[in-house]
Chains A and B, each alone.
Chain A
């Protein structure tokens, strides 16, 4: 028998080639998959950026733009964005005696003639001094001012003065002047005090002026720097203009965003949390408890939501110096939880019957493992979607309540209350309405689109068929 001497080198490992199914691409976790889907959705991604920008605007904004939102700039009431900031240095105001004629004509029964108006001196925000040619037979004059041309429908505007002395042919307007164009109309009156049918109108462009002392006390220039008449200074800068009380719009929008977004994010967070706890308790315990709990939820759902928000608001009553944010939060949470509770309960009941729960139980999973590993991850997507959709709803509710004066109390700004104030002056100063309204719309739009995107990404059953 020959001895075979074999070494390791004589052996060759046979590789068995078996075609097994392999995973071609790395497996994605639920969240990675959702993120990939969200990233593919350009609309959702854009709205995500908008939401981040809004949060940045709200949180960081007031540190960058440090103007006090309650400070009033009385030089600039209702100035639109990008308004001219130049102001001319003038002498302090000197009273004007006016112009009188020597004519002593008895007042006539009717007056036809019109008065030719001119400016006695250049018009400024300090004073507008008008002089007109006397009208024969007039018993007096009436002076009107408007902010647009009265020509088409005789809209002469604000009655400024009624002059009973026919010899007085001048008027000095000191009332609330802003740098803009005014249309002044002077109408002669006859013996019976009736206005003449014809009248003249003069368009006057006022320029912004300020006295040297005032410019210094308001901190527009250094106290040391010499100012001479006719110099130009610049009044303080308001990038988005001011509101009707001269408060900086940008600062107010930032602080208003704090209120609106605070309520818009905190309230949904709390009521969704309440809903999760309530709904999962009902779903887990089941039986009679479930019945009673859900009957109560049905009842709360049946309550008319906005009416009860208003009732809550009245019942809480707001003391001086309070903004009313907390009562609104409480009311929102108390009234809004049932929808989430129903949803979560439904999910829990559904998941409980799934085969993988049974499998998990067969393998010996304990209840807390089931909850942590299966129940929560499988409901969290739906809950997150609900949360995202709740934000715009709550922002709407806040805006609505503030708009009818039932929301946050002034002077605390919120976007809704700013709209409410802006609507009073919208004909002449539309920016006071449009800016907060645009921000509300943008926020609601962004959260809605983000919610759509999240739903498509997180919830495979609710994926919309686009």
Chain B
């Protein structure tokens, strides 16, 4: 177990190192010049700027500086927002994204398990048909479309009621988080529902369920203690990819709902070619995702004793 965890961690570190290097190479192969936008820069100012950002050094030196700074946890200064360090940007905006993401995961997880169990219980009857239709819809409609449509619906609702029931966009209170996180979690919820349903159906006819019934357990107890607990395991395995999906899905939802999260900043930085911010946030996101997946895998080993991690 510990050997396995150590191995996965080392693998994760190597992956993050590769992400950092690839980001560096990608940024340096971009055609153009980061100082191109500075209007009317004469030679001297240009040289000063290059010196300040370290652009006058050989590329390998730049790489070493970049790596050593990154190991120290310093991502540098933003190119477009003067005097704002990338660390500040991450520190300020990541909690917003994280709050949104955690709520979305909670929605997706609870919803997926609940709906999946429900559809399995009512298999091929009306609730099953309705929910599975919605699930297929949820898998097929892109998140930005759902986000935009829910915004339209909110505008309509607020107009109909006559006062603002739920804010259409922005950030601040728990009310602002409700609809965006629901939208963000919807695709994952649909996916988890499908998974939960099939894993429930697989278990319904298992021997230990029959045993549980035959020893006289009440159906609710069988449902909660035997069916649900066993069926939930596959849902936990896909939680890693689900976190990744929700993190990247956050880019779009934050953009549509005007939420000041890191995802929106990342997209803006990409559009404005803000080199340091792109590099910093990419490595940050990359590391976050890689270690999240590892954490979920290790967690799975703890929860399910049948899984031997090696």
Q: Is A400 an interface residue (CB 8 A)?
A: yes
Q: Is A174 an interface residue (CB 8 A)?
A: no
Complex contact A317–B31 (CB within 8 A): yes
Total contacting residues, chain B, CB less than 8 A: 51
Complex contact A437–B136 (CB within 8 A): no
Q: Which of B44-52, B67-75, B81-89, B137-145 contacts A (4 or more CB under 8 A)?
A: B137-145
Q: Is B212 an interface residue (CB 8 A)?
A: no
Partner of B18, one of A299, A315, A420, A465: A299
Complex contact B142–A396 (CB within 8 A): yes
Q: Is A392 an interface residue (CB 8 A)?
A: yes
Complex contact A314–B293 (CB within 8 A): no
- With both beta carbons as reference points, the residue of chain B lying nearest to A437 in the complex is identified as B145
Partner of B282, one of A311, A419, A441: A311
A396–B155 CA distance with the chains assembled, in angstroms? 27
Total contacting residues, chain A, CB less than 8 A: 44
Give chain B's interface secondary structure class: helix
Which A residues lie within 8 Å of B18 (CB)?
Answer: 299, 303
Q: Is A306 an interface residue (CB 8 A)?
A: yes
Q: Is A427 an interface residue (CB 8 A)?
A: yes
Which B residues lie within 8 Å of A298 (CB)?
Answer: 11
Complex contact A448–B136 (CB within 8 A): yes
A304–B32 CA distance with the chains assembled, in angstroms? 26
Q: Is B296 an interface residue (CB 8 A)?
A: no
Complex contact B202–A307 (CB within 8 A): no
A439-460 Cβ-contact flags toward B at 8 Å (1 or 0): 0111011001100000000000
Complex contact B252–A400 (CB within 8 A): yes
Complex contact A299–B145 (CB within 8 A): no
Complex contact A304–B255 (CB within 8 A): no
Q: Which of B34-42, B54-62, B215-223, B266-274 contacts A (4 or more CB under 8 A)?
A: B266-274
Lowest 6 A-B CB distances belong to which pairs? A315-B26, A445-B140, A437-B145, A317-B31, A444-B140, A306-B248
Q: 24 A-B contacts, Cβ less than 8 Å apart?
A: A299-B15, A302-B290, A304-B248, A305-B248, A307-B19, A308-B19, A315-B26, A315-B27, A315-B29, A392-B140, A399-B144, A404-B270, A419-B144, A419-B145, A419-B148, A423-B144, A427-B152, A440-B145, A441-B145, A444-B140, A444-B142, A448-B136, A448-B139, A465-B202
Residues of A within 8 A of B (CB): 152, 298-299, 302-308, 310-312, 314-315, 317, 319, 392, 396, 399-400, 403-406, 416, 419-420, 423, 426-427, 430, 433, 437, 440-442, 444-445, 448-449, 464-466
Residues of B within 8 A of A (CB): 11-12, 14-15, 18-19, 22-23, 25-27, 29-32, 124, 136-137, 139-145, 148, 151-152, 155, 159, 162, 198, 201-202, 244, 248, 251-252, 255-256, 267, 270-271, 273, 278, 282, 285-286, 289-290, 293
